[in-house]
Amino acid sequence: MSREAANLLVVRRLLVVVAAAFFLGFALVPLYEIACEKVFGIKLDGAGVTASEARAMTVDPSRTIRVRFDATVNSALDWEFAPKHRVVEVHPGQLTQAWFTATNRASHPVVGNAVPSVAPNTASIYFNKTECFCFTEQLLAGGETRDMPVVFVIDPAIPREVRELTLGYAFFLNDTATRRVVAADVAATPRS
């Protein structure tokens, strides 16, 4: 076999490997989604239910689930953040509202984003938020304190062995949005 033929064979084999890796990357997406939802019980779509769908759920008064609230703030964000109540008890199917309070300790406006989590993760597919401060960026002026609601319902189909779950939020600094807000404030300030 000539050197040119050997090189051509290597190139063909490499192209097959590259094509296989490319298609495998696309094939892994549905496998990942199946593993997350079916094996680990993690909801990926973030769709939840609408407020009208939540109100239409049948409340199961024979069961009570204790919901604990956890609130943390990333060290890059100079905010205080805490739930108004650490624990509530709800019946599956019952639309419930809980409040969190955030305070911007900085002297300038800051934008933060909250990332929610539900534990145990198998309960996350049954925990549905219809309204949440985590759906959008939160802009707090310097020194501002704001109460922020989350409205949720636990699907009555939640397994009976789940009697307690934790809804946690971690707030992170949104650098890009904060720079945009500060730049807009500077541009709007009259020059003397």
Tokens 């600094």 belong to residue: 173
More confident residue, 76 or 56: 76
Question: How would residue 52 be classed by pLDDT, with cut points 50, 70 and 90?
Answer: confident
Half-sphere exposure (CA, 13 Å, Cβ side) for 72? 9
What residues contact 28, with CB distance under 8 A and at least 6 apart? Answer: none
pTM above 0.85, yes or no: no
Place of tokens 């062995």: 161
Ramachandran angles phi, psi of 67, nearest 5°: -110, 120
Q: Show the DSSP H helices in the chain as ranges.
A: 3-34, 51-56, 175-188
Tell me the per-residue pLDDT of 64-106, one tens digit each, with 9 for 90 and over. 999 999 999 999 999 999 999 999 999 999 999 999 999 999 9
CATH code given to domain 51-183: 2.60.370.10
